Amino acid sequence: MTSSSQTRWPQLAEVCGSDDVPPERDIGVVGSAQLEVMQALWRHYLRPDSLGTDEHPNNFLNVLWCSVDASRKKAIDLELQVNVRDRGHCAVRTLPKSKLIAHVRFLDRDGHPYLVVDQKWFDDLQRSAFSIYGLVDVAGMKKYLSQSGSVPDGTITSLRERIDRVAAENQHCAFISLADSMVVKTNWSAGAGGYEATYQPEKFIALLGTVSEVFASVFGMPAYAVATQGSNQCGDGTLIHVSKEGNHVLIPSLATPFAELFEIERAARSATKLRIHRPSPLYLSKSLFQSLRFKGHSTPSVLVERLIKHESEVVSTESSFYLPTSEAELRGFLA
């Protein structure tokens, strides 16, 4: 931040460094195109003769609210408050410190820190692509194959035909089969115009239940699902690409939640072997679990107490938890 921009802040503004962004509290994010307007509004709001009756500067600014999920040497992971009206829905985006123009807080009336960020980064943030991911797998396949050698003739054909029917009824999702396992993906928008229509994790969990039932029925073995949600770091919003020749399939999913699916699956497998918890038909990441629309809008403490910690290379220590549960159990808590 330049010295000239510092002088435009009101006297009661405290300009802080990029390493001093506080964790565990609400932080406002503002695009740099609003910097001068923001400074003028706060100078007026905090003028000595103010009686405290003026409208708050935030009423005139485009402010996105977040908190710090993790802070590193060159970047800050911001947990964006996508929805706080009827569900506690957050998603993490990474802010390179090179894109931070100013970090300021006001010592009167407000006290919240504000981050002024590069305008292009701010605009891209509002256009971010987000996804929900699910993984369905059959339990015990390795042991079955070691004893039987192969699955009965027609098994994979039956699976393909039944999943084709499920996919035809859910064309907003992509279904990627790998014999006895499957990845399911759907995209959602954080924008006000499409959020309610596209972010429907309760329906997605029910769909994973349907897919699990198909796998269990076809293979004659129990199946389970893992699910998570968050930002998608690449792609143009396309769910899946298949080349015109049909021999190249692309899943544009260079994303933390996609990798988190497999971390949770490995952790759950290990935890069941160690008898930390019993095998469950459904494992939800903390980020997806907390975003569900619960009765009374508050996360049930009886479920929070059952969150399992796991090691992760892709999410912060505060986020690396999963919930062993079932669709039937969740149904009793959901609005």
- pLDDT, tens digit (0-9, with 9 covering 90-100), for 197-245: 999 999 999 999 999 999 999 999 999 999 999 887 666 678 888 899 9
Task: Note whether 321 and 308 are within 8 A (CB).
Answer: yes
Question: Is the Cα dihedral 316, 317, 318, 323 positive or negative?
Answer: positive
pLDDT of residue 64: 92
Which of 72, 105, 126 is the last residue in one of the domains? Answer: 126
pLDDT of residue 1: 44
Specify whether 237 is located in the same domain as 120: no
Specify whether 73 is located in the same domain as 199: no
Specify whether 62 is located in the same domain as 153: no
In the chain, what percentage of residues exceed pLDDT 90? 63
Specify whether 118 is located in the same domain as 136: no
Confidence band, pLDDT 50/70/90 cuts, at residue 192: low
pLDDT of residue 4: 42
Token pair 């938890």 in the structure block, residue: 321
CATH code of residue 322 = 3.30.70.1230
Specify whether 165 is located in the same domain as 110: no
C-beta atoms surrounding 22 within 10 Å: 15
- Find all residues with CB under 8 Å of 269, minimum gap 6, and list them: none
* Length of the chain, in residues: 335
| 59-83: average pLDDT | 92
pLDDT of residue 236: 66
* Domains contained in the chain, number: 2
pLDDT of residue 167: 97
Specify whether 237 is located in the same domain as 299: yes
pLDDT of residue 36: 95
Task: Note whether 90 and 80 are within 8 A (CB).
Answer: yes
Nearest to 33 by CA among 130, 126, 129: 126
pLDDT of residue 2: 43
Specify whether 181 is located in the same domain as 120: no
**Euclidean distance between the first and final Cα of the chain, in Å?**
46
Which of 126, 160, 190 is the last residue in one of the domains? Answer: 126
Specify whether 295 is located in the same domain as 174: yes
pLDDT of residue 207: 98
pLDDT of residue 303: 96
Specify whether 301 is located in the same domain as 170: yes
pLDDT value at 15 more than 80: yes
Nearest to 130 by CA among 97, 178, 89, 159: 89
Residue 151: domain span: 129-331
Which of 94, 126, 158 is the last residue in one of the domains? Answer: 126
Specify whether 108 is located in the same domain as 133: no
Specify whether 168 is located in the same domain as 27: no
pLDDT value at 6 more than 60: no
Quick: pLDDT tens for 116-174.
999 999 998 877 778 999 999 999 888 777 767 778 888 889 999 999 999 999 999 99
Specify whether 79 is located in the same domain as 57: yes
- Mean pLDDT computed over every residue of the chain: 90
In the structure encoding, which two tokens stand for residue 65, read together? Answer: 């609210």
2 versus 129: the higher-pLDDT residue is: 129
In the chain, what percentage of residues exceed pLDDT 70? 95
Nearest to 11 by CA among 35, 45, 36, 34: 45
- For 72-190, list the strands marked E by DSSP: 75-83, 89-96, 100-106, 113-117, 129-138, 173-178, 181-188
pLDDT value at 3 more than 50: no
The whole model's pTM is what?
A: 0.87
Question: Is the Cα dihedral 83, 89, 206, 334 positive or negative?
Answer: negative
